[in-house]
Structure 1
Amino acid sequence: MSKWMIYGANGYTGELIARQAAKDGMTPILAGRNREAVSKLADELGFETQIFSLDNPDTVTENLKDMELVLHCAGPFSKTSRQMVEGCLAAGTHYLDITGEIGVFEMIHDPGMSKRAADKGIVLCPGVGFDVIPTDCTAHKLKELMPNASELALGFSFLAGMSPGTTKTMVEGLSGGSAERKDGRIVPFPMGSKKRTLDFGRGQETATAIPWGDVSTAYYTTKIPNITTWIPLSERQIRGARVMSLFAPVLGTKPVQKQLLKWVDRSVKGPDERARENAPSYIVGEAKAADGRTITVRLKTTNAYTLTALGSLEVVRRMLGRDLSSGSFTPAGLFGSGLVESLEGSGEFEVVE
């Protein structure tokens, strides 16, 4: 039987994934550096454990050597992903994670990194949660419908609150502003400086551009050179984002970051089950060709955190014991646009021309 690991299983999203795995009859090994928290969860669910940090490369490799696959859930991934990726390369272990961070995607999809993975015969596939399965599959669907698309806009809306890990990632990104893909290159710009209207499935809404992971991943999925990502915000919220961007240099300093991250630890717990059940997510994508023709697709899914649990485990199931192409991949690049439609609580794509 294939052995696989959830690393960071004691975090908010890692625990959701572990509990869903138990419900589905899967048997991951739960891992992380917090022995007490990981062991408590593993004892409850009846899983084995491995306790280790990512500080020592040899330790990481040793703990991964018998694993076919690791699902990495310990963020912020800007601080943890490279260590785990290097461990997977050394051990010959497939790597998955649930990041949404552009820098992590760019690191893993770098041609040199992809070649190293191919030479080792392993798959590196970051972003197998809400970041970025629904939007990545939407990008893939639009490329199928419009092969000659030159522009791609992707948007999402979800009502559930944020987990501590997601909030910490946002805090660490306060100094970075927003970003888009322009003529194949990632270009930064101030947060709140770009807006438009989009119909996420509930009528036209004002939206602002944000640095979502698809600025990176959708390019590798589709090769469309111009990509923007959007969320609905009110005019007042967009103005607030513009004002906040003026303080970006201060918000990125170590003393301010330290205090903000302490606040997250004290105050942010993540949405409970009831909040998740009452918070569906809405996805919209728009492809545009050079001649001006556009195609729009929309999709309604379950809430972001439940989708992360369902989506990541579906990718695990599709990979374990399978003979796969090796290298760096996006979720839709591995399994096509239909991946998201196969998940419980997800509808089918609605196409509007």
Structure 2
Amino acid sequence: MNNKHIMIYGAYGYTGELIAREAVARGYHPVLAGRNAQKLQLLADELNLPAVVIPLDAQETLEQSLLNIDLVIHCAGPFSATAEPMMRACINAQTHYQDITGEIAVFEAAYSLGDRARTAGIVLCPGTGFDVIPTDCLAAALHAAMPSATHLVLGFDSDSSLSPGTAKTAIEGLGIGSAVRRNGRIQVTRHGQVTRQIDFGRGAKFSVAIPWGDIATAFHSTGIGNIEVYIPMPPGRARKLQYLNTFRWLLRNNRVQNWLKAKVNKSLRGPSDTYRAKHKTWVWGEVRNDRRGERRVGRLVTANGYDVTVSGALAVMEFLVDYAGDGGYFTPSALCGAGLVEKLPGSSALDITSG
């Protein structure tokens, strides 16, 4: 077993706990860390692992805690608030960083810190879960099939329910809007504004563009300047989503945000093992060069998104514990190759065909 020192920060959250349990099942002995001493110690005692309570707003303490750590798997949301302090601490402590975020702003922050990470000789690789391994790998494979592509469209179809952390991230986005990338620049769009029909693998469905992480990451993986990401949505629900545009100013209010997140805490616990096993995900992508009239379509099927996050995060971890390459910012496909997703349990092969 590799003797590198691994820390899972936010280990008592829904997904962090899944990752911690699977890491132990694989024979690893990570340090569990987080901000809630009671929740942290309960899990650490059960798994017979060391635990350390570390606040993210005490930078010097955080950096000292990382000095003997080779790699952090950061699982504590909301990543909009937690990721950058941890990334900066990892750079200063020369500790590799990965997380399970899907937030565009976090990916862009990591990219902006890439030069510092390169100088420190460490890797920053956010998005090592379902956000964004499957779509990022598909994007890279599609770009390899059509290097001249000027447009990239991605999407996924799943019936899975949400964990509390994912629901809270979605709530934060309500007051911002959706997003696409146009001519290399990220553009905020109105909720439900960009739509199209897509066959993700279960028949054509009305679909709505969402502010998925690939709006940032796929650009860094492929260099393609026009990117959209979709999920299927009933037209009636899409109309309700469009209605929210009128109240985006209100949905940004801290009191409203806190009220909505409190409701999530009371009502969501995350899907069970049995539920996750029954709900896989269909991932779809398209690249085009309209000037040449060329098009390629890619598809794959993966396990449930949360199971992909567990296996994906640990696959990247296992890649990094023996890593001897350059430091800097990386997307999952840039770090581990487009074939990463095909190695995960429950994933099909990437299938690229002519349009």
**By the TM > 0.5 criterion, same fold?**
yes
- In structure 2, what is the Cα distance between the partners aligned to 1:36 and 1:140? 42
Q: Could you say which residue in structure 2 is the equivalent of 1:332?
A: 333
Q: Could you say which residue in structure 1 is the equivalent of 2:71?
A: 69
Q: Could you say which residue in structure 1 is the equivalent of 2:19?
A: 17
The counterpart of 1:91, out of the listed 90, 93, 99, is 93
Q: Could you say which residue in structure 2 is the equivalent of 1:277?
A: 277
Amino acid at match of 2:327: S
Alignment partner of 1:186 is 2:186: yes
Alignment partner of 1:200 is 2:188: no
Q: Could you say which residue in structure 1 is the equivalent of 2:111?
A: 109
- In structure 1, what is the Cα distance between the partners aligned to 2:69 and 2:196? 46
**Cα shift at 1:150:** 0.3
- In structure 1, what is the Cα distance between the partners aligned to 2:275 and 2:251? 30
**Cα shift at 1:139:** 0.3
Q: Note the aligned Cα RMSD (angstroms).
A: 0.9
- Kept in 1, the 8 Å contact 2:209–2:230? The answer is yes
- Kept in 1, the 8 Å contact 2:142–2:352? The answer is no
- In structure 2, what is the Cα distance between the partners aligned to 1:322 and 1:109? 20
Moved over 4 A (4+): none
- Kept in 1, the 8 Å contact 2:13–2:76? The answer is yes
Give the match's secondary structure for 2:41.
Answer: helix
Q: Could you say which residue in structure 1 is the equivalent of 2:231?
A: 231
**Cα shift at 1:51:** 1.3
Amino acid at match of 2:226: N
**Cα shift at 1:41:** 1.0
**Cα shift at 1:335:** 1.1
Amino acid at match of 2:107: F
Give the match's secondary structure for 2:150.
Answer: strand
- In structure 2, what is the Cα distance between the partners aligned to 1:69 and 1:96? 8
Identical aligned pairs, as a percentage?
44
Q: Could you say which residue in structure 2 is the equivalent of 1:140?
A: 140
Structure 1 range deviating more: 340-349 or 252-261: 252-261
- In structure 2, what is the Cα distance between the partners aligned to 1:91 and 1:203? 49
**Cα shift at 1:292:** 2.3
In the alignment, structure 2 segments of 5+ residues that lack a partner are none
What is the CA deviation profile of residues 26-60 of structure 1, one whole-angstrom value per residue up to 9, with x for unaligned ones? 22111111112111112211211111111100011
- In structure 1, what is the Cα distance between the partners aligned to 2:293 and 2:10? 46
**Cα shift at 1:180:** 0.5
Count residues in correspondence: 351
What is the CA deviation profile of residues 88-134 of structure 1, one whole-angstrom value per residue up to 9, with x for unaligned ones? 01100001000000001011112xx1110000000000000000000
- In structure 2, what is the Cα distance between the partners aligned to 1:276 and 1:258? 28
Q: Could you say which residue in structure 1 is the equivalent of 2:317?
A: 316
- In structure 2, what is the Cα distance between the partners aligned to 1:201 and 1:325? 38
What is the CA deviation profile of residues 286-328 of structure 1, one whole-angstrom value per residue up to 9, with x for unaligned ones? 0001322110000100000010000000000011032022100
Q: Could you say which residue in structure 2 is the equivalent of 1:82?
A: 84
Normalised to the residue count of structure 2, the TM-score between the two structures is 0.97
What is the CA deviation profile of residues 157-205 of structure 1, one whole-angstrom value per residue up to 9, with x for unaligned ones? 1211111111111111111111011000001110101110111111111
Give the match's secondary structure for 2:28.
Answer: coil
- Kept in 1, the 8 Å contact 2:117–2:329? The answer is yes
In the alignment, structure 1 segments of 5+ residues that lack a partner are none
Amino acid at match of 1:28: P
Give the match's secondary structure for 2:174.
Answer: coil
